[in-house]
Amino acid sequence: MRLQFGYLLSLSITLVFIKEGICTITTQRPTQNISPRNFSSPEDEEDFVPYQGERFTVFDWRLFKSLSQANEGNVLLSPISIKLALVLLYEGAQDQTAHELAGVLQLPVSVLATREKFNSIINSLLTPSPAYTLNLGSRIYIDNNVLTRQRYSATIKTFYNTDVVNANMSDTHIIANDVNLWVSNITDGHIEKMIDDEKNLQDSVMLIMNALLFKGVWRRKYFAPENTRVTKFHINENNSVNVPFMHTVDRFYYAESSKFDAKILRIPYDGSKFAMYIILPYTLNGVDHIVSEINPFSLGRDVWAMQELPLDVWIPKFKFEFTSHLENTLRQLGIRDIFDDTALLTGIAKTRRTSKHLRVSDIVHKTGIEVNENGTIAYAATEVQVGNKMEEGTFHANHPFVFYIEDETTGTILYMGKVKDPLNTSGTTGKMKELPSRFHQDLPTMTPVALPATSTEDRYYFFNIDLLQRVNEDVEGNLVLSPSSAKVALMSLVEGTGGRTRQELLAALRLPPQEYTIRRISRLTLMSLKNYQNGTESDVATRVWINPTLAASENYMNALHDHYGTDIQQINFGNANAANAINDWVREHTRNNINSIVQPGTLQTDTQLLITSALYFKGRWLKSFDKHATRMRCFYVPERGCQDVPLMENTDRYRHGYIASLDTNVVEIPYSNGRTSMLIFLPNQEENDPYLQVLSKDLSYVPMRTLLNSLNESELILVIPRFSIESKLDLRSPLTRMGVVDIFTGAANFTGIGHNDHLRIGNIIQNAKIEVDEEGTIAAAVTQLAVIPLIASTTPTFVANRPFIFAIVDLATSETLFVGRYMGPAASNSRSV
C-alpha cells in the first residue's frame, strides 16, 4: 500500500533472552537433608563493584510497576527491547511526539547524547565472549512505495545497528514469513511466530523489529541436579504448590532492604558481565509493596550495601510466558501522541503536507523465561503496529449511556449494555474504529486508582467488562448482552476441556485452576441468578443437547448436573423437529420473551453437542416512575441530533455520583427485591465519546465494588428513557479477541466430554432482550454453544519459596535486559489485550 502520510505504520519488536539460572527464597526450610557444596576457593572469589554511572532505568521500573499492578500473575518484560524500538520512533519524531518519547524514556538532553547512549549499550551487548551467547538484531521493513529519508536510514544504521529492508508490504504472507524467519533465527527458534495473523499487517507501510537472545551459565555450577528436591512454594497465605527446588550453599553478594522490606540476592553469570538480582519480600504478600516502592535510586543504594556472605540458597525451577498490549500502559506513563492522529513522525519518510499522519496502532510485547539447574532461557517479543484512529464531547439521561443490572450481594452482573437510540430495537454488526482510553490522560506519572481484586470471586467479575468492551468493538447501535448467561455456558465447557483449551477458558473467565473452586464459584453464580422476591424475579436454566451417536463421558454429564445445574437431553440434530424442540425450551425458560435461538434448517446434521443457557429477569422498580410524568422529550443521537422519545421522570432519593476517573455520572436505580439494581453510566461530555467506546474501555479500570462504594444517596430528579432492545450476537469474535481460540478450531481439547478427536465449537450465539418502562424491567437472554528442609547451621538462609521480583542486568552499563515477578509455577500467565 502506498504511504500517503496517514496509512498504517506497523512497528514490531522481538526480543528473546536466554540465560542460565534463577533463584527464589523461602522463610521455611525444606526438610530434606542435603550436603552443602564446598565454598569457592579464594582464587575463585569475585571482586564485585556495582555500576557507578548514571542510571538509565527510570522508565524500566515505571513500566514494570505499571504492568505488575495491572496483572496479578507472573510478569516478564524486556525494557531494553521496548526502548530500542521506541527510540527508533523518536529518531523520526518531531514536536510533541518527540517531547513525550524523550520525557518518558528519560532520554539524554541532546539527540547526539541519546545516540551515543544507545550505541554504547548495543556495542556492549554485542561484545563477543566464549562465556555466553548474545544475539541482537534490529530491522525495519518499509514499503517500496515509501520514500524513506536518507538521513533517517543512515542514522539508525550508524547508531542503532538497524537495517532498512524495502519490501512490498501489501504481500502480507511473504512479509510475515520473512519476519518470522528472521526472528526465529536470532532467537534460536524460541519465538517461531512473531506474527501469528497476517491480517494484522494489512495497510501497514512500516514494521520495526528488534530481537534479542541471551544464553548464559552461572559463574560457577552452583546447582547440582542431584540436590534438586520437591517442596512447597507458597503462592499466598492459603495456597501452596509442590515444585522442584534447586539448592546450593555458597558465597553470594547479599543485602537486606528496609525500604522494600526484603532480601536481595545477586547471582552472577559466567563472563563477569551479567548477573541476576532477586528481591524477596519478608512476608508472603510483600511483592505488592516492592512493586509500589521500587525505583532505580533506592535499589541502587541497596546494591551498593551488598556484602559477600555464605548463603543457603533454594531456587525453584520455573517456566512461564507473558504477553501484553502496551498501548494503555504507555499512555498512562505519558506516551500518547504516537497513538493518535496528532503524531508527527515526519522524520522517517517524505510525505505530502495534505496527507494524514502516521500513528502507532498497537504495541504487543511477548516474553518468556525458563529456569533449571544449568541456567535460564528467557525470551521476549514486542510488536508495535501503527495506523489511523478516529478523531474525537442534573442527571438527565438524554444522550447515549451504558447500563448494568447487578446483584449487589455478590457483584454478579446480570445484564449490561448501551443505549444509543431508544427507538432502535435491534443492533447491527459492524467493526467500529478504536478510540484511545482516556483513563488518567492528564496524569502521566500515575497509575489507575482501581483497587485490586480482593478474592478469586472479585476477579471473576472482570470477564463482564471485558466481554462488553469486545462486543462493543463489533456492534453499532443499541446493544444488550448477558455476561452471566455466557459465563454459565462457558463454565459448563470447562469441565470437559484440557490442556491449552482449558487454560484459555480459565484465563478469559478469570477462574483459578482448582476444580473445586470453579465449582464453588459456579454454585454461587447460579444461586444469585435464581431469585424471586417482592415482585422481582430472576431465573437461569442450562441444557446440554447431545447427539445419540456421541459417547459422552458419564463423569462430565454428572458434573454438569451436580455442579452447574445443567440437565442433559439427547436429540437427533438431523431431525426436522430438532430446532423446534430447542426453541420450545427457550420460550419456556424465557417466559415467551425470546421465541427462538435456532432457525429451522440451520442445524448441521454432524452437530455433536449443543449447549443452551437461558437467563430471565423481571424487575419491579423499588421506586416506580409515574406514567403521567412520562412525556416526549429530546434525546440526542450521534450524527442525527435531537430525536423525540418517551422520557420517564421521578424525584426521589437515589445513590449516585460523579466518577472522575471515568468522567462519567452514575446513578443506581434499585429493584424491589433489595439486592438488584440497574446502574446507568452517563458520560459527562458526550461529544468526546459519542459511541461510548472510551467508557467501555475505562470501566475495566474500576472494579464494580469500588464503584458502588463511591456512590452517595441524596434526592435526585431522575430522567431516563423508556426503551426496548433485542440483540442477537455471535460471541465467537469477541471471545477470540479475549484469548478463547482453541474451542473454535481443530486444536480444541474436549477429551473430558468424549473420545471424539474432532469436536469443536461452531459458534456461540446469544439472543438477549430487555424492556424498561415505568414499572420496571423485563430482560431475557439465551446463549447457545454448538460443538461441530535443611541441615542445622548458623548460615543465613535465602530460600525462595514464595513470590519474588527479579531483574537481569548488564553490569557494564547497568542496563536491565529482563525484569519480572514470579508468583509461582501454577500461577496464570497474565496477558493485556
pLDDT single digits (tens) 801-826: 545 444 444 454 434 444 444 444 43
**Residue 363 belongs to some domain of the structure:** yes
Contact 531, 406 (CB under 8 A): no
Residue that wins the pLDDT comparison between 720 and 370: 720
Coil, strand or helix at 703: coil
Mark 101-138 as b/e (b = at least 16 C-beta within 10 Å). Answer: bbebbebbeeeeebbebbeebbeebeeeeeebebbbbb
Nearest to 782 by CA among 408, 334, 480, 409: 480
- Is 28 part of any domain? no
Shared domain check, 161 and 260: no
Same domain assignment for residues 722 and 732: no
Asked if residue 586 and residue 712 are part of one domain, the reply reads: no
- Please tell me the distance from the alpha carbon of residue 81 to that of residue 13, in angstroms, as a whole number: 7
Per the domain annotation, does 49 fall within a domain? no
DSSP string covering 153-175: HHHHHHHH-EEEEEE-TT-HHHH
Is 354 part of any domain?
A: yes
CB 589, CB 566: distance < 8 Å: no
Give me the mean pLDDT over the 616-639 stretch: 80
Residues 719 and 732 in one domain: no
167, 82: one domain: yes
Model confidence pLDDT, tens digit, residues 156-210: 999 999 988 888 888 889 988 998 898 888 878 878 887 887 887 777 777 877 7
Grid cell for residue 760: 469443536
Q: What is the CA radius of gyration of the chain?
A: 29
Q: Looking at the structure, tell me whether residues 668 and 524 fall in a common domain.
A: no
Same-domain check for residues 467 and 498: yes
pLDDT in the model for residue 155: 92
Report the alpha-carbon distance of residue 240 to residue 351 in Å, rounded: 58
Confidence category of residue 594, pLDDT binned at 50, 70, 90: confident
Does 91 have pLDDT greater than 90? Answer: yes
Among 25-34, 433-442, 479-488, 714-723, the range of highest mean pLDDT: 714-723
Whether 77 maps to a domain, the answer reads yes
Say how far apart CA 698 and CA 702 lie, in whole Å.
Answer: 8
Does a structural domain hold residue 831? no
CATH code, domain with 803: 2.30.39.10
Find out whether 666 and 656 touch, Cβ atoms under 8 Å.
Answer: yes
For range 1-29, the mean pLDDT: 30
Closest to 120 (Cα-Cα) out of 89, 159, 80: 159
Confidence of residue 783 (pLDDT cuts 50, 70, 90): low
What is the CATH number for 492? 3.30.497.10
Domain identity same for 495 and 567: yes
Which of these ranges, 355-364, 393-402, 661-670, has the smallest mean pLDDT? 393-402
| pLDDT of 75 | 80
Sequence-distant (6+) residues with CB within 8 A of 358 are 3, 5, 6, 7, 9, 205, 206, 343, 345, 348, 386
Nearest CA to 689 out of 401, 481, 480, 426 is that of 401
Q: Which residues of 644-662 are buried (b: 16+ CB within 10 A; e: fewer)?
A: ebbbbbbeeebbbbebebb
* 300 and 333 both lie in a single domain: no
Strand 804-810 with 9-15, pairing: unpaired
Closest CA to 17 of 221, 211, 223: 211
Task: Return the DSSP state at 627.
Answer: G
pLDDT at 810: 46
Instruction: Report pLDDT for 114.
Output: 92
List Cβ neighbours of 49 (8 Å cut-off, separation of 6 or more): none
Pairing of strands 776-786, 401-407: unpaired
pLDDT of 295 strictly over 80: yes
Q: Which domain holds residue 511?
A: 456-617+728-767
**Same-domain check for residues 518 and 554:** yes
Give the total number of structural domains in the chain.
4
Same domain? 365 vs 302: no
DSSP assignment letter at 453: P
- Residue with the bigger pLDDT between 689 and 422: it is 689
For residue 373, pLDDT beyond 60: no
Please check whether residue 158 lies inside any domain of the structure: yes
Instruction: Tell me whether residue 31 is in a domain.
Output: no
**Residue 423 and residue 417: Cα distance in Å, rounded?**
15
Predicted confidence (pLDDT) at residue 744 exceeds the cutoff of 60: yes
How many angstroms from the chain centroid is the CA of residue 318? 22
Question: What's the pLDDT at 781?
Answer: 56
Q: Do the strands 631-637 and 641-659 form a parallel or antiparallel pair, or are they unpaired?
A: antiparallel
Which ranges of 51-171 does DSSP label H, i.e. alpha helix?
58-70, 79-90, 95-105, 111-126, 150-160
Place of cell 427507538: 423
Residues 141 and 84 grouped into a single domain: yes
Q: How far apart are CA 783 and CA 761, in angstroms?
A: 13
Q: What is the pLDDT of residue 157?
A: 92
Which cell is 164 given?
532498512
Query: Assign residue 520 a region: left if phi > 0, alpha if psi is -120 to 50, beta otherwise?
Result: alpha
